[in-house]
Amino acid sequence: MAGVSSCMKYSMFFFNFLFWVCGCIILGVSIWLRVSKTAQGELEIDSSLVSGINVLIAVGAIIMVLGFLGCCGAMKESQCMLLLFFIGLLAILLLQIVAGILGAVYKSQVEEDLKTSLSTYSSTLQGTSPADKEFQNNFRQIEKENKCCGLFNGKADWGKTPGGCTCETADIGTPACKDNIYEEYCGDVFIKMVQNNMIIVMGIAFGLAFIEVLGLVFSMSLYCQIQRK
């Protein structure tokens, strides 16, 4: 044990034990959502969300493996396990950095693609099929909740079909309401929501990056202490 800091060793173990527990929770819940038909029905999980659940399964498994390597590497003072932990964590950190750079570079393109995708629903607001009617009813509720009108052309998106653009009594005379019609387009509201969520994701990513850097520093410091022992 000479030359190895007990404080650093047990701090490394505790850090990675929490890391491992988080991985177990993510993996367990993700597998349950993936295989349980009851859960999929109650949470209204469709095929479009399955790929996201599969990603969570992979993330949970990776976190579990890294947590195990970190815990065992610290307690057994195994340079091999600590080095594998360091390499795995460094790879994740580099992937986050690359993803952040790509997100910043293609941010405007993503927003433009989202706007184009949303614009395709304009015809649905004027459709007459049962599916169109169901979409229109849901969209009217969205308009009322978000105090917006149409997608990107306001009331014109509805054509002759009565939409949900008419202001609520409480909103008449406010900046959101002009000529008894909600002024903001719902498409713009959706894009703002995506932008706000991207900011939240970036904040979480920076927080995770800070924790990962701490993990890299702890593991490499412990690795060097073991090597000098």
User: What pLDDT digit, counting tens, does each position of 17-54 carry?
Assistant: 888 888 888 888 888 877 776 655 655 555 556 666 77
Q: Which amino acid is at 49?
A: L
Is a pLDDT exceeding 70 seen at residue 4? no
Q: What is the mean pLDDT of residues 168-175?
A: 85
Of residues 221 and 36, more confidently modeled: 221
| Alpha-helical regions (H) of 6-146 | 6-35, 37-42, 47-75, 79-105, 107-119, 130-146
Show me where the domains of the chain are located. 6-109+204-228, 120-187
Mention every residue, 6+ apart, whose C-beta is less than 8 A from residue 36: none
CA distances to 42, 125, 130 from 160, rounded to whole Å, are: 37, 10, 17
Q: What is the mean pLDDT of residues 84-102?
A: 85
Question: So what's the pLDDT on residue 112?
Answer: 84
Question: So what's the pLDDT on residue 49?
Answer: 63
Which of left, alpha, beta for 180 (phi over 0: left; psi -120 to 50: alpha)?
A: left
Pick the range with the lowest mean pLDDT from 90-94, 99-103, 184-188. Answer: 99-103
What pLDDT band is residue 1 in, cutting at 50, 70 and 90?
very low
